[in-house]
Structure 1
Amino acid sequence: MAEDFSDRTQTFSIETPQKLDMQQVLVQVYDALKEKGYNPISQIVGYILSEDPTYITTHNNARSLIRKIDRDELLKAMVRTYLGE
């Protein structure tokens, strides 16, 4: 006899290796900023502090890419990396 699933909520999740994704995105954004003649570190820091996407160029889709990163997770990953954890 078939089980009745009509009262259950279906869940959906996408598992992604966030650390690798964040690193790849940052490298792509860094490269795009550098290609356009900006100081990539200053621009990325400006974005992280303000969440203002205009710090990031639209060149090579960099602005869209960086907005996919959760800033809190990025900051955590950066601190962990800096402290060698």
Structure 2
Amino acid sequence: MADINNTQYFNFNTDPEVRVKLVLDVVYNAMAEKGYNPVNQIVGYIMSGDPTYITSHKNARSMIMKVERDELVEELLREYIKNKSWQQ
């Protein structure tokens, strides 16, 4: 039996990198489905913080607002560096 004096801890997602990747994937696909240029719209959101750059289609706007903009930039830069074509 558990000790009732201790608080149980539940963590749904322990890897924030995975969460950010999932959000970017959903947002990108939702923007493309609606006919927007996903790159331009995501950059607009990151630069301004204005969520109206992101469509509400497939709950994309709500999802992206749950991630800090600096986390989006970090993940995009991390993936760019990992996949850069100029690396030998």
State the TM-score bracket (shorter-chain normalisation): 0.7 to 0.9
Structure 1: stretches of 5+ with no match in the other structure: none
- Residue 22 of structure 2 corresponds to which residue in structure 1? 24
Computed over aligned residues only, the root mean square deviation of the Cα atoms, in angstroms, reads: 2.0
When normalised by structure 2's length, the TM-score is 0.74
**Counterpart residue identity of residue 46, structure 2:** I
Task: Give CA deviations for 1:8-37 in whole Å, capped at 9, x if unaligned.
Answer: xx8x78463111110111010011111111
When normalised by structure 1's length, the TM-score is 0.76
Report the number of matched residues: 76
Q: Aligned to 1:69, what secondary structure does the other structure show? A: coil
Structure 2: stretches of 5+ with no match in the other structure: 83-88
**Counterpart residue identity of residue 72, structure 2:** L
Q: How does 1:1-85 map to 2 (within 5 A)?
A: 14=11, 16-84=14-82
Task: Report the Cα offset of residue 80 of structure 1.
Answer: 2.5
